[in-house]
Amino acid sequence: MSKRVIIYQDGLLSYSETFIKKQALALTQWQPVLVGHKYIRSGLPLESLQAQLLFPEGASTLRRLLYQIYRWQNKADPIGLKTLKQLNAQLVHAHFGTSAVDIWPYVKQIGLPMLVTLHGFDISIKKEWWESGKRGRRKKAYPKRLLQLAQEPNVHFLAVSTAIKKRAVEFGIPEDKITISYIGVDTESFQPGNVPLTQRRNRILYIGRLVEKKGATYLLKAFAKVKAQVSDAELVIVGKGPLEPQLVRQIEELTIKDVRFTGALSSEEVKTEIDNAKIFCLPSITAENGDAEGLPISILEAQASGIFVVTSSSGGVGDNLIHDKTCFMFKEKDSEELASLLIRLLENSEPYLPVLRTQEKFIKEKFQLVDCAVKLEQVYDKYGKP
């Protein structure tokens, strides 16, 4: 692989960003190099990929302060510039608009083209929310900087779903500068388990960060109703986040039994949980600040693994989410409708088994990681420096 792509994300890499690592490992024609601003404590193991920081971890306090000053001023630090130049890459691929605006001063100075994958919060959150400083002073200018970035001839955007492309256009990014690019799912690792669905426990599985837009509170409301009718129903919540204490209190208030929190899990551990569940449920909502789903990889993994998917996610509608064909959908925040769906699938799964075959076929035809990586490399070829 003679062509090299710098894959940039501000922090390298949280467990919720496994998709970045898997996409990089799926490349065959381009050599990926992960570059970031910092390593995430207790983050993903990166031994299988070349990875480094813009700025060396062991630098003196004074030099680190100078680096931070450059960063606050939205300028390229000389050491970071030298780091990127020495990688001799033909292209930079930044994940998330927030990381893209941070790395662009460096990329522009060394004259490389850049692709920016938009995932969700980076394009869904309302401009006024950013501008109010709720994400910190540095991010107040994010909407303005992203739109300035969209005017650069050497920058092109990738949207992870049709919904994200639509939001990007509404944000002000020209439609002709956006290509839909699915990340896909590793169907070698995620495929139907050995135990038939009808022989599994009545277990519902949630996988996602415990934040507002994931809607876990509505799942708990629904599960209280499910438990009243399906006594052996269980709920497993995979993930961690700031809302966990609130969700624990909600469980106590609703006096719900058989709910288990696992915290963040590796891909292998996630697969084990999927293979022991009957239903995957992601009750996503549009958060108060506008934050909404892009195309959750967790849904793709559940679809590829042959379990029922129940969701209110707006991201992926028309892409991998087709009601009664590849999943079961309900209105955002409608716990009554969600409970009814869950009860129906738990009490009598047989009539709905054809959906599992349809969704698996759909994933293999459209969302296999290796196929999506081939298409991504074609985009790299189009926009990368010769």
Q: If you write DSSP's letter for every residue of 92-157 in order, what string do you get?
A: EEEESHHHHHHHHHHHHHHT--EEEEE-SHHHHS-HHHHHTTTT-GGGTTHHHHHHHHHT-TTEEE
pLDDT of 307 reads 97
Could you give phi then psi for residue 118, rounded to 5 degrees?
Answer: -95, 130
How far is 100 from 115, CA to CA, in rounded Å?
Answer: 9
Q: Find residue 96's DSSP bridge partners.
A: none
Distance in angstroms (rounded) separating the CA atoms of residues 341 and 200: 18
**Residue 1: predicted pLDDT:** 62
Could you tell me which of 240, 238, 234, 311 has the C-alpha nearest to residue 278? 234
The pLDDT of residue 217 is 97
Give the C-alpha separation, 227 to 208, whole Å: 22
CA distance 79 to 184: 35
Helix (H/G/I), strand (E/B), else coil: 177: helix
Check residue 46 and give its pLDDT. 92
Residue 260 CB contacts under 8 Å (≥ 6 apart), including other chains: 234, 235, 236, 237
The token pair at 189 is: 């690792």
Q: What is the pLDDT of residue 67?
A: 83
Q: What is the pLDDT along the chain (386 residues), one digit of tens a residue?
A: 679 999 999 999 988 899 999 999 999 999 999 999 889 988 899 999 999 998 877 778 888 888 888 888 888 898 889 999 999 999 999 999 999 999 999 999 999 999 999 999 999 999 999 999 988 888 999 999 999 999 999 999 999 999 999 999 999 999 999 999 999 999 999 999 999 999 999 999 999 999 999 999 999 999 999 999 999 999 999 999 999 999 999 999 999 999 999 998 988 999 999 999 999 999 999 999 999 999 999 999 999 999 999 999 988 888 999 999 999 999 999 999 999 999 999 999 999 999 999 999 999 999 999 999 999 999 999 999 98
Could you give the domains of the chain? 3-184+368-383 (3.40.50.2000), 197-366 (3.40.50.2000)
Q: What is the dihedral of CA 343, 346, 352, 355, to 10 degrees?
A: 100
Give the span between the Cα atoms of 46 and 300, in whole angstroms.
23
Tell me what pLDDT residue 267 has. Answer: 87
Predicted confidence at residue 135, as pLDDT, reads 87
If one counts every other C-beta atom within 10 angstroms of the C-beta of residue 372, the result is 18
pLDDT at residue number 318: 82
* The token pair that represents 378 in the structure block: 């074609």
The DSSP letter of residue 320 is T
The helix (H) or strand (E) run that includes residue 39 is: strand 38-39
pTM of the model: 0.92
Residue 61 CA, chain-centre distance (Å), reads 34
**HEC profile of 215-247:** CHHHHHHHHHHHHHHCCCCEEEEEECCCCHHHH
From CA 102, how far away is CA 127, in angstroms rounded?
A: 17
- Closest by alpha carbon to 357, among 295, 298, 307? 307
